Amino acid sequence: MIDVYKWERIVPVAFGRYRDNPPAGTYAPDLDCRGFCNYGGYVVGVCRGDLTRVKVTRVLLDEDAPLFVSSGDPGKLTIVSPSPNPGQLPSGTRVYIDFRASNTDGDVKIRVHAQKLDGPIIGELTVHISQLLTITCAVHRTAIYKPPSTRTAANTTARTFANIDTLMGEVNRIWRPCGIEFFVGSRKDDTNLTNQVPRNGINPSDGALLCPVYGTPGEAGVNVNFTLLMATNKVDGLVNIYFARDIRSATASGNPRYNGFGSAGERGMVVRDRDPIQAQAETVAHELGHILTLAGQGHANSHDSHSDDDPQWSNTVPNRRHDLFSRRRLMYYMGGLEAADRTGPGGRYAFDGINAGYGDGVRGRMITIKNLTQDPTDSEYTDARNRQATLFIP
């Protein structure tokens, strides 16, 4: 028996991201699980023709309870596993479904039935199918120094082009639910920035992009060295991604240090070498979100830059209910910050941990598909695809 006060939504089965390594050629995206209105449950984005795996959890059912899976429109989506005849899920608390999308855009339901294939529907997953859109990028291996220094291993990014290709493959897995792919169309290894300038009385460090500290009087939003870098060997008409040895603040200690900066106006970004390839891929994916103006257009407030921005951090951001955002979102800011930045003196939220479901300090990958009227920073899928179409239109 369940004690219910006033009312409670009963969820016999839940859908989620398949967390193990999926078979080759199979995608395992994060799901938009926020709210049940309109969609009636979870939503996952896939591209035309994709083979995708999702997890099903028996929440309020015995692990041997008979469950069956069907497609709401076999012309749009076919169930691969379990076999459609009879379509029965195996026993277990957590099991999975493999399905393949057709070449038709739009929504289709995967339905979980109790007892038999045409039994009562006790769970639905909306699959949003999209045509893949492409954004072409220029990647730059960057050396940062001031004359009379010369280019050395100490001031040059450690990322090779092979590293970057691996990284961009991971970036594309993150963005695939949104139906956007980033193609490397230009590789430049002659990106030497020799005209950095001091900030706040601090001289540039060898190999490190020197940036102002947020909120410095008279300098809020001003990042001269970033602007200089974005103009170095820039490839017009492409998104320019610069890999640097380090990014540090204009303070005596160099802290806080930043994993990356992305600019919608510049159509470019810089990321530093500190993190392993997979973690850096998540930073690149996040900064690409800034370039595509996630949390900056459509239903979002124009002052927002992250899904969890708030007045405690920036006085330009209006008040917002913070029980609306999910820490799994790609544009969630707190995941990669040091503990002191999150919770200590001057920190933001005492309740913020560092595990959003992908491991300690690893950013989440959810790009929101739903458009909830209570959340001014969602509908990122639509915002990103709309921006792709106009990215290089003045």
Q: Dump the DSSP string for 289-318.
A: HHHTTTTTSTTS-TT--STT--TTT-TTSP
Q: Give every strand in the sheet of 260-263, ordered side by side.
A: 180-193, 133-144, 239-244, 268-272, 260-263
Task: Say which range, 33-47, 230-244, 258-272, 286-300, has the weakest mean pLDDT.
Answer: 286-300
Mean pLDDT of 369-394: 88
* Closest among 209, 267, 210, 213 to 238, alpha carbons compared: 267
Contact indicator for 307, 364 with CB cutoff of 8 Å: no
Comparing 76-90, 237-251, 329-343, which segment has the lowest mean pLDDT? 329-343
Residue 217 has pLDDT above 50, yes or no: no
Write out the two tokens for 330.
């790609």
pLDDT at 182: 98
Domain ranges of the chain: 13-130, 132-276, 292-394
pLDDT band at 193 (very low <50, low <70, confident <90, very high): confident
Concatenating the DSSP letter of every residue in 224-269 gives HHHHHHHTSS--TTSEEEEEESEEEESSSS-PSP-SEEEETTTTEE
Q: What does the mean pLDDT of the chain come to? A: 85
* Residues whose CB is less than 8 angstroms from the CB of residue 147 and which lie 6 or more positions away in sequence, other chains included: 194
Strand partners, 136: 183
In angstroms, the Cα distances linking 328 to 274, 332, 336 are 22, 7, 12
Helices within the chain (DSSP H only)? 161-175, 224-230, 277-291, 339-343, 380-390
What secondary structure does DSSP assign to 42-59, as a single string? EEEEEETT-EEEEEEEES
**Residue-wise pLDDT tens digits, 18-46:** 999 999 999 999 999 888 777 778 999 99
pLDDT at site 215: 46
pLDDT at 180: 98
Give the per-residue pLDDT at 359: 78
User: Residue 305: is its pLDDT beyond 90?
Assistant: no
CATH of region 13-130, choose from 3.40.1710.10, 2.60.40.3450, 3.40.50.12780, 2.60.40.10: 2.60.40.3450
- Of 263, 281, 268, 299, give the one whose Cα is nearest residue 386: 299
Greater model confidence, 145 or 166: 166
Average pLDDT over residues 62-83: 97
- What does the pLDDT look like over 244-283, one tens digit per residue? 999 988 888 887 788 898 888 899 999 999 888 988 999 9
Of 272 and 85, the structure prediction assigns the larger pLDDT to: 272
